[in-house]
């Protein structure tokens, strides 16, 4: 009779379980919010507005940013916006201050759509397009260009100018399903097609280079209380944390907080082989200069 020896426990197994549960939690959150938006669009498209959820125009926090100036200066809302847009925009700001840019990684339906495209690309064994570092850095300013154009056009026209071209709205409003008009919709469908193709070849293409809300959040995230930080003394420099990052952030060189482009997916934290080197900390980056000054005074 041969005795069966039990396998010794390793650190890798519980770490894989933590990674799995983090991914499941994030995917579940994304599916819930995407499903909510699709249900709202279906009920709105079927003409059940009297007792249904609002259209997605009233459920978008970016609408609060678009209508803010008009509301402040005139007391009115830009057409197709609603007080709910301001409430959602304020809620998003509070969320960013508390938890950083987790909205993009855990809630945004269009972010979930791009993640699904990345999954498809990997299943089809299509190689991801890697842009040169300088080109990538320069193209990320495209978000701010798009944001400026949208705000200018919205303020001067007093309407949601971007709604006619927004790939998120084109996809999730389901207008192409309930009221298809190719002559009127082809610009929006063409933009959605280009963004879809870009996101299939480059992970989170829209988020990295074109998303106007991402531009706003990348600035406000500097004020966030919760940020992913790297402990330099314990880092081995293996850069394993950078491989799964959907935003292409150089996590291994974070000093100490990761880039404000971070969407809070926590893939880098799960991938780090050394526990505690990367972690979510209650430490806003705007306090770093104060801490450094205090440390210098203490050691002097």
State residue 8's pLDDT score. Answer: 43
In this structure, are residues 111 and 263 in contact, taking their beta carbons and an 8 Å threshold? yes
* pLDDT tens-digit readout, 247-289: 999 999 998 899 999 999 999 999 999 988 999 988 766 666 5
State residue 140's pLDDT score. Answer: 97
- Pinpoint the alpha helices (H) of 100-224: 102, 109-123, 133-139, 142-157, 167-172, 175-178, 182-201, 205-209, 212-220
State residue 49's pLDDT score. Answer: 54
Query: Please, what are the averages of pLDDT over each run of 10 residues along the chain (300 residues)?
Result: 43 50 92 94 75 73 93 91 92 91 95 97 96 96 97 93 94 88 89 97 97 95 91 90 95 91 94 91 68 58
State residue 298's pLDDT score. Answer: 62
State residue 3's pLDDT score. Answer: 43
**Cα–Cα distance between 18 and 121 in angstroms, integer?**
25
Q: Which residues contact 279 (CB under 8 A, 6 or more apart)?
A: 228, 229, 231, 269
- Pinpoint the alpha helices (H) of the chain: 12-45, 61-74, 83-99, 102, 109-123, 133-139, 142-157, 167-172, 175-178, 182-201, 205-209, 212-220, 267-271, 288-299
State residue 64's pLDDT score. Answer: 93
**Cα–Cα distance between 154 and 298 in angstroms, integer?**
52
Q: How far apart are the first and last CA of the chain?
A: 70
State residue 178's pLDDT score. Answer: 84
Domains of the chain and any CATH numbers: 15-220 (no CATH), 225-288 (3.30.70.20)
Q: What CA–CA distances, in Å, run from 173 to 33, 87, 128?
A: 14, 20, 29
State residue 218's pLDDT score. Answer: 93
Q: What is the mean pLDDT of the chain?
A: 87
């Amino acid at each position: 009779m041969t005795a069966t020896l039990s396998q010794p426990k390793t650190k890798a197994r519980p770490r894989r379980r933590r990674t799995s549960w983090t991914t499941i939690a994030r995917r579940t959150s994304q599916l819930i919010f995407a499903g909510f938006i699709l249900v709202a669009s279906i009920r709105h498209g079927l003409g059940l507005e009297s007792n249904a959820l609002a259209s997605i125009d009233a459920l978008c926090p970016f609408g609060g940013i678009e209508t803010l100036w008009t509301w402040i200066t005139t007391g009115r809302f830009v057409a197709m916006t609603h007080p709910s847009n301001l409430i959602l925009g304020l809620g998003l700001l509070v969320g960013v201050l508390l938890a950083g840019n987790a909205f993009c990684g855990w809630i945004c339906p269009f972010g979930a759509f791009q993640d699904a495209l990345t999954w498809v690309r990997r299943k089809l064994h299509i190689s991801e397009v890697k842009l040169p570092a300088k080109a990538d850095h320069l193209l990320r300013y495209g978000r701010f260009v798009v944001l400026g154009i949208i705000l200018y056009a919205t303020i001067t026209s007093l309407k949601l100018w971007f709604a006619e071209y927004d790939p998120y709205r084109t996809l999730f409003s389901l207008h192409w399903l309930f009221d298809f008009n190719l002559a009127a919709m082809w610009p929006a469908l063409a933009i959605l097609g280009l963004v879809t193709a870009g996101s299939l070849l480059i992970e989170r293409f829209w988020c990295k280079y074109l998303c106007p809300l991402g531009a706003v959040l990348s600035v406000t995230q500097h004020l966030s209380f919760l940020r992913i930080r790297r402990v330099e003394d314990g880092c081995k420099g293996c850069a394993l944390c950078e491989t799964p990052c959907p935003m292409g952030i150089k996590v291994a060189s974070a000093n100490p907080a990761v880039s404000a482009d971070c969407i809070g997916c926590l893939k880098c934290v799960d991938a780090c082989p050394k526990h505690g080197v990367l972690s979510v900390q209650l430490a806003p980056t705007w306090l770093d200069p104060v801490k450094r000054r205090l440390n210098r005074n203490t050691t002097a």
